Amino acid sequence: MGKRQVKNESALKEIKLPANEEEQFGRVIKMMGGENLMVKCQDKVVRRGRIRGKLKRRVWIRANDVVIIAPWEFGKEDRGDILWRYTLPQVEWLKQEKYIPLDF
């Protein structure tokens, strides 16, 4: 039985930015267990985020991480999917390039 290859975060050198107006930056406030967590978004709304299965097995998400969240379009405005997690050097680059505020 072969080992499953998992990409580590140092291999992920590209920086993904929000693709459209619905996707936005957020900061993880609290881990709620399983694949759920609380995220404070750029629009000052606290949403319950769900880690997508593709991301769940590859990247560990902790409190105070900066993520991209896509709010759900149907029914629940206070929920969303986590699409991407940024490393610390990537967060510093986002602050320097003024994609996120310095106190974010």
Residue by residue, pLDDT tens for the chain (104 residues) are 444 444 445 544 678 888 888 899 999 999 998 889 999 999 889 999 999 887 877 888 999 999 999 988 886 678 999 999 999 999 998 999 899 988 87
Which domains can be identified in the chain, with CATH numbers? Answer: 20-96 (2.40.50.140)
State pTM to two decimals. 0.79
pLDDT at 5 (0 to 100): 42
- Do the Cβ atoms of 22 and 65 come closer than 8 Å? no
* Confidence (pLDDT) at 12: 44
> pLDDT value at position 60?
86
Torsions phi, psi for 41 (to 5 deg): -90, 170
φ/ψ (deg, to 5) at 93: -65, -40
Q: What is the pLDDT of residue 27?
A: 95
